Amino acid sequence: MSSVVGIIVIVVGVLASIALHEVGHMVPAKRFGVRVPQYFVGFGPRIWSLRRGETEYGIRAIPLGGYVRLVGMYPPADPDAKPRRGRIAALITNARAASMSEVLPGQEGRAFYNLAPWKKMIVMLGGPVMNLFIAIVLLTITQVGFGELALSTTIAQPAACITGTATSETAAGDCPSGQVAAPAYQAGLRAGDVIEAVGGTQTKTWDEVASSLQKLDSATVSLTVERDGALREVQVAPVTLSREQSDGTRTTRSYIGISPTYQWQPQSIATVPGVVWDQVAGTARIIIDLPQKVYQSAKAAFGHEERGTDAVVSVVGVGRIAGEITSMPTTNIPAQATWVSLAQLLAGLNIALFVFNLIPLVPLDGGHVAGAIYEMLKRALARARGKVVPRPADTARMVPVAYGMFFVLLAMGVVMIYADIVAPVQI
């Protein structure tokens, strides 16, 4: 399968995940009465859009994200507060003004900042939770519907000849120089034969087959195989091969020239929560170490060290991995393995979106959740003291942090994209 197919599949999957992430914000916001003037996938110039009710839905040219515009994200300034001056104060003032400009006259009650704190939390958590839900669905399908690939007792296509130097007379055969006849093929074993017993001992796993073959020291081995629903017994004469190892030493072993195919082992649905938790916890650990990971990727990009397989990757790296998955040979592996791997990759990306967006810093969803929690605590404390319920949390004051986070994320993205081009992670 072409690597382009993998790239297309993962790009479409990521865009769909982003689109559903924004749906996770939009649906509860509309249910709570917030006016939502725009819902777009992508950034930059508008490619297509349509209006349904008060919301414009559309697609923009740069497929690197998406957004849903909620009216009144920042509350107006406290009239009793002392005005501040300076660049940071100007940023905050401009953010408030832009937010308030979208509030239509008479619809102040539909502004986001007027929602109860618990409603704000539901709206802002809706996006990350949607990504978690997508991941759970994908992992359930792959775990329960397919499971894990394991070696089976079904024989893959046996080669007629094998590489090595024979040390016994059983090596006769019409094979090229440097190769000897494969005993299994010469004895009539073919792809699809299922090994039921070795030397009269039943075998249910490939490990049992390999162990039984290693224990036999007779001149011939009796294999009971199932083919087309019927059992047959085949006598195979192992060949003793001598092979040179990478360190220059030579080893000898008995060999009949068969290898197993892989088969799916579906897992119980009870294993899904554990798999999801392991991925969430693993992603959280990666995010905690993100500055170090980016630094290591930068060193690898400029040739100072090798890039490890556990390195973080950008969208370019994800696309490259998807392309490698679909272009890898699938010998002895079920054809569905490629699609299962892509589904698992997409599930991992959605878990990454879930965890990353919970970081309690704006412009990430977690920053707005933190603001809602702060507002909830302030109100609870005021009620407990019998005081007037305070104004909505002034999240506009976090705008400078949002700008700083934007530039930090942009810088990290550029570094990782460059690293993925010049020093890609190999799978």
- Residue 6, in any domain of the structure: no
| DSSP H helical ranges for 220-336 | 272-288, 290-301, 315-327
- Rounded CA gap, 17 and 99, in Å? 27
Residue of 63, 2, 79 whose CA lies nearest to 391: 79
Q: Is residue 395 part of a domain?
A: yes
Verify that 307 and 424 share a domain, yes or no: yes
Domain count within the chain: 2
Find the CATH number of the domain harbouring 165: 2.30.42.10
Residue 206 counted as domain residue: yes
Instruction: Give the residue from 130, 105, 77, 201 showing the smallest Cα distance to 365.
Output: 130
Alpha carbons within 13 angstroms on the beta-carbon side of residue 241 total 19
**How far is the C-alpha of 164 from the C-alpha of 342, rounded, in Å?**
37
Q: Are residues 255 and 282 in the same domain?
A: no
Same domain flag for 309 and 408: yes
**pLDDT tens-place string over residues 82-120:** 777 788 888 888 888 888 888 888 888 899 999 999 999
Q: Is residue 136 part of a domain?
A: yes
Residue 67 in tokens: 């957004």
Same domain, 292 and 409: yes
Neighbours of 320 (CB within 10 A): 22
Q: In terms of domains, do 169 and 257 share one?
A: yes
CB-based contacts of 403, cutoff 8 Å, min separation 6? 91
| 78 domain-assigned | no
pTM: 0.83
Residue 257 belongs to some domain of the structure: yes
| Tens digits of residue pLDDT in 111-157 | 999 999 999 999 999 999 999 999 999 999 999 999 888 888 888 88
Query: Which positions are annotated as active-site residues?
Result: 22
N- to C-terminal Cα separation, the chain: 17
In a domain, 194, yes or no: yes
Q: Do 389 and 344 sit in the same domain of this protein? A: yes
Q: 274-277 long-range CB contacts below 8 Å, 24 or more apart?
A: 275/139, 275/143, 276/132, 276/135, 276/136, 276/139, 276/351
Verify that 421 and 313 share a domain, yes or no: yes
Maximal C-alpha separation, the chain: 100
Residue 194 is classified by DSSP as E
Any idea what the Cα angle at residue 40 is, between residues 62 and 44, rounded to 5°?
A: 30
Is the same domain home to 133 and 271?
yes
Which stretches in the chain have pLDDT values below 70?
1, 164-174, 178, 216-218, 242-244, 330-332, 427
Is there a single domain that holds both residue 259 and residue 311? no
Rounded CA gap, 192 and 198, in Å? 17
Residue length, the chain? 427
Report if residue 91 sits inside a domain.
no
Among residues 265, 294, 329, which one ends one of the domains?
265
Query: What pLDDT, on the 0 to 100 scale, is given for residue 317?
Result: 83
Bridge partners (DSSP) listed for residue 165: 242
Separation of alpha carbons 6 and 426, rounded Å: 16
H/E stretch holding 415: helix 399-422
Q: Are residues 255 and 399 in the same domain?
A: no
Check if the beta carbon of residue 11 is closer than 8 Å to that of residue 65. no
255 and 215 within one domain:
yes
Cβ pair 235, 198 in contact under 8 A: no
Locate 98 and state its tokens. Answer: 């832009």
Examine the fold and report which residue of 237, 265, 293 is the final residue of a domain before the chain moves on: 265
Element (H, E) at 348: helix 337-356
Domain coverage including residue 276 = 113-147+267-427
Angle at 224 between CA 222 and CA 229, to 5 degrees: 160
Choose one of 234, 265, 296: the last residue of a domain. 265
**Beta-strand pair 179-181/260-265:** unpaired
pLDDT for the residue numbered 71: 93
Q: Are residues 284 and 406 in the same domain?
A: yes
CB 164 within 8 A of CB 255: yes
